[in-house]
Amino acid sequence: MGIYALIEFVKSNRIADFAKRTGIILFVVAVAVGCNTTNLWTNSEYVKETMRGGNSELTKTSAPGLAEKKSTGLDINYAFSWSYGIIESMNMIIPNLMGGGSNQELLTADSEIGKKYGQDEYIQLPTYWGDQPFTSGPTYIGGLIFIFFIFFMLVEQNKIKWFFLATVVLSLMLAWGRHFLILNEFLFNHLPIYNKFRTPSMALTIATISLYFTGGWFFSKLVNGEYTKELLSEKFKTLAYIVGGFALFAFYLGVSGLDFKSATADARILEQNKDFPIADLIADRKMLMMNDTYRFIMLMAVSLGLIWAYVTGKMKNAQYFMVGLSLIMVVDIWSVGKRYVNTKDYSEATSFEEFIPSTPADMSILNDKSGQFRVFNSTNDPFNDNSPGFFHSNVGGYSAAKLYRYQDIIERHLSRGNMAVFNMLNTKYFITQGQVQGAPPQAQQNPGACGNAWFVREIKFAKNADEEISLMDNFEPKNTVIIDERYKADVKNVSVDSLSAAMNSIVLAKYHPDKMEYTSNANGDQFAVFSEIWYRGNEDWKAYIDGKEAKMTPRELPIARNEYSCGQT
């Protein structure tokens, strides 16, 4: 838009005016940045250590069709996971084209699944079968906004309309992610900050804003008589052909163009119930899509009828015209929105705790006052759900920008159930689903948890980060510490005595998120391992032994005396 404005101002010899307006915009941007300096500065430092802007020390391989990441930021395979399918983009006007949401669509009693299970009202199933791993629902704009945008492009004389068209098209191509690598792979590797984002589908926000802006602009000019009746009448036929073409294409997709199958979603359902009638679910997905296609055709027919009556002078009262189209828009958006947000999603709560109900397993763990430890909840999506962290120090949880070192641990060990690593992280309790159908989650104590800190009996050096993380596949963390050879010089003067280590101890004496104090009982030098990751050691975090500052190495710190504390400065 800036380029377009520059060309127009140069053509009209108004360079000074352009410079003034640009100066005002830059000033406003500078004020906005200034107000957010604290967040921006800390994020710029933190991101270098995370999966959003850092580099893993491990050798990474790409999936077929995707090149290696060339700059700091997310791995391209991970970043393009939530890529919108090209055909899926039509759910902007046919909301159930790909089945709607992964977990929220309600099938009625007369659906194939409803008949099979004899449901009196509704049955909730993952009807979504598109290219994304899962989704809460489609990016739906509404049929009338679609008509307004097409009509706007046909009758508007202002050349700025091409900017909006280009913006919508670019937004769609960005949302396609891995399905349009000819553009997106280049942008991922070269466009600043772009590789910090995870979901290409969120680019559809740009298209949505552009479509609603131009739709509102067109509607305003239409009812204010800024387009001639002759122009509107001339372009109306083209509008009807375009909208009818989309309707016919959607109908073709529903009848024979799509198979309504999902390898991922269907496999997940069969894994839980191998006798589940997938064929009936596929039939219901088709039914959902066709119902929305008929709905689109009906809404478009009524809308085009009203527009035709107005532009040809059959409907002379502009107020009736505005009220009629407004009602169509409200009914359209409201009826789709109700599928995902309705009265059951709202409740009055006196405290936040009511939104995260505790289970008997949670209460059992909370009764353990023995000290600081961690919990792993396997009854939910462990690394995409933060709710267990409301009650416990959580091994899992979700952060949009995990420390890269921890993300590597998740991918290589925690997601594969490596108990040695869980023990290393001082995972004292596991919350698991009850063995009996419908039983509440239960807490299981892990006797192998290593504690907050411990002395090891053996130091094992690895050639590089790849070998270091591989050696963790089979080791005993209570006895052995694995260190990259790069840090050999930091521990060269520490001798490890197996017998001596077993007879000594180190414990967490005081805990606060900003300050942790440890007390050791050691006869001579020992090597202590701490069940923590300290971000920006020696900078934000300082280590002290007997009150004297000591250097923190990237992974471990030798302990030679009786008291140790780590505090944030």
Any residues with CB less than 8 A from the CB of 471 and at least 6 apart, and which? Answer: 460, 462, 482
What is the enclosing helix (H) or strand (E) of 124? strand 122-124
DSSP 84: P
Distance CA 477, CA 207 (A): 52
Are 171 and 139 spatial neighbours (Cβ–Cβ below 8 Å)? no
Distance CA 103, CA 497 (A): 56
Has residue 563 got a pLDDT over 50? no
The bridge status of strand 548-550 relative to strand 541-545 is antiparallel
Mean of all residue pLDDT scores within the chain:
85
* Helix ranges restricted to H, 253-345: 263-272, 278-311, 318-337
DSSP readout, 210-271?
HHHHHHHHHHHHHHTT-S-HHHHHHHHHHHHHHHHHHHHHHHHIIIII-----HHHHHHHHH
Chain segment 463-490, per-residue pLDDT in tens: 999 999 999 999 999 999 999 998 888 7
Distance CA 251, CA 260 (A): 14
For residues 111-133, one letter each, b for 16 or more C-beta atoms within 10 angstroms of the residue's C-beta and e for the rest, the string is bbbbeeeebeeebebbbbbbbbe
Burial class (CB in 10 A: 0-12, 13-18, 19+), 481: buried
Distance CA 266, CA 284 (A): 13
The bridge status of strand 480-484 relative to strand 458-462 is parallel
Has residue 363 got a pLDDT over 50? yes
Distance CA 539, CA 545 (A): 16
**Mean predicted confidence (pLDDT) in 541-569:** 61
Q: What is the pLDDT of residue 488?
A: 85
pTM confidence score? 0.77
What is the enclosing helix (H) or strand (E) of 432? strand 427-432
Q: 67 falls in which pLDDT band (50, 70, 90)?
A: very low
